[in-house]
Amino acid sequence: MSKIKPIPEREPAHDIFRRRHHPLDVFFSPRTVALIGATESEGSVGRTILRNLIGNPFGGVVFPINPKRSSVLGIKAYPSIAEVPEGVDLAVIATPAKTVPGIIRECVQAGARGAIIISAGFKEAGAAGVELERQILAEARRGKMRIIGPNCLGVMSPLTGLNATFAGTMARAGSVGFISQSGALCTAILDWSLQEMVGFSAFVSIGSMLDVNWGDLIGYLGEDPRTQSIVLYMESIGDARSFISAAREVALTKPIIVIKAGRTKAAAKAAASHTGALTGSDEVLHAAFRRSGVLRVNSIADLFYMAEVLAKQPRPKGPRLTIVTNAGGPAVLATDALILTGGALAELAPETIQALNQVLPPTGATATRSTSWATPAPSATRRRSRSPRKIRTATASSPSSPPRR
């Protein structure tokens, strides 16, 4: 009688398209959420967060926690997280700072795997706040709880429908992961993105980074196949080793864009009062960004533009660019900007130049075979050339003047 061979275990290669469970999944796709500090007070943070949680279905259940009310906004409320009849994945905390260490202790005992601390009044407020943070972290370490915050706007996951923030509206779903230390900047980016039709895979206000830091979230979004690029607003780097390690690995496959505030001494002092963290030497950070493959921008406008480009255009495969404009001046300015920021003008093939000559008007269009193309103003584009023309120069003359030789 032949032996029955045991069924072999399935090889890992069979699960190559299945994303493994990650500890930070709890912040983006929880099954149960407890809002501690839920209230019906008009204009309060607790009311706004509850509205956002129940107004944007994420496929889970929301449990309001309020020791003084039996229901909040018509939903049954519980006096503490220990009274919730189901296991809680994620706790969102919006109570006074001094109450948070005790609440974290209760969350750990209830088996919660993650907490978003919206509350302010921690290390940015001085020594008493630092001690509160120490107590919070000690309680969280008793279990396997991860914490985002404190002093943050919250977390949105537009792809799953979770809105655990007190922002006024939900972000569009898309492919850009956005992480910010400033809640106010989050709301500004959000307002702009809704007008410009820019979508996000994750929208995270990281606050003062008591636990979850830049490296954690960059690593997480780097593994997320739905995130194609990562944009950061940074005031302090926190754990530099974690940031550089994660950024160096992820930047090989996904662009990481950062705007770093606190470059001057005055701004650094303001940042310390905001998040309670030192900003560090700007020269050292700049070198760290370059070494890890992170692209740094210097203005909020550039951050907006970069986010829009990454959301709407394919990622460039190299530094080469062809410039198309309706006048010579913009072509020259664009060429300067391209070269000075490390780019290069694309070398146009002869057949490309010939094809362009077939459609460009007979006057005012000039270019070289390796630089930019300038087309005339809209009023002159009605006339089309019937025969190819040789174009020699890199700048454009006015539509009424002959091309320069």
CB 220 within 8 A of CB 27: no
Residue 153, Cα to own-chain centre: how many angstroms?
A: 14
Q: Give the Cα separation of 124 and 180 in Å (integer).
A: 16
pLDDT higher than 90, residue 27: yes
Q: What 8-state DSSP symbol labels residue 399?
A: T
Q: In terms of Cα–Cα distance, which of 304, 390, 319 is closest to 354?
A: 390
Q: In terms of Cα–Cα distance, which of 53, 302, 300, 47 is closest to 184?
A: 300
**Cβ partners under 8 Å of residue 14, min gap 6:** none
Q: Give the Cα separation of 76 and 331 in Å (integer).
A: 63
pTM of the model: 0.77
Q: What 8-state DSSP symbol labels residue 170?
A: P
Q: Give the Cα separation of 404 and 254 in Å (integer).
A: 43
CATH topology agreement for domains 22-150 and 171-315: yes
Residue 114: predicted pLDDT: 98
Domain 22-150 fold is Rossmann fold (3.40.50)
Residue bearing the bigger pLDDT, 89 or 392: 89
Residue bearing the bigger pLDDT, 6 or 139: 139
pLDDT higher than 50, residue 14: no
Q: How confident is the model at residue 1 (pLDDT cuts 50, 70, 90)?
A: very low
Residue bearing the bigger pLDDT, 349 or 367: 349
What is the percentage of the chain residues whose pLDDT exceeds 70? 80
Q: What are phi and psi of 10, to 5 degrees?
A: -65, 135
pLDDT higher than 70, residue 275: no
Q: What 8-state DSSP symbol labels residue 78?
A: B
pLDDT higher than 60, residue 28: yes
Residue 242: predicted pLDDT: 94
Average pLDDT over residues 195-217: 95
Q: In terms of Cα–Cα distance, which of 107, 92, 21, 33 is closest to 63?
A: 33
Domain boundaries, the chain: 22-150, 171-315, 320-380
The number of C-alpha atoms within 13 Å of 249 and in the hemisphere containing its C-beta is 14
Rounded CA Rg of the chain: 27
Q: Give the Cα separation of 64 and 46 in Å (integer).
A: 9
pLDDT higher than 50, residue 99: yes
Q: Give the Cα separation of 178 and 218 in Å (integer).
A: 10
Domain 171-315 fold is Rossmann fold (3.40.50)
pLDDT digits (tens, 9 = 90+) for 301-343: 888 888 888 888 887 788 898 888 877 888 889 999 889 988 8
Which residue type is seen at 55?
Answer: G
Alpha-helical runs (H) found in 111-202: 127-140, 183-196
Q: What 8-state DSSP symbol labels residue 21?
A: P
Q: Give the Cα separation of 387 and 286 in Å (integer).
A: 52
Average pLDDT over residues 110-114: 97
CB 47 within 8 A of CB 73: yes
CB 129 within 8 A of CB 101: no
Q: Give the Cα separation of 316 and 11 in Å (integer).
A: 35
pLDDT higher than 70, residue 64: yes
How many other CB atoms are found less than 10 A from the CB of residue 358?
13
Q: What are phi and psi of 342, to 5 degrees?
A: 95, 5
Q: How many angstroms separate the first and last alpha carbons of the chain?
A: 94
Residue 372: predicted pLDDT: 54
pLDDT higher than 70, residue 3: no
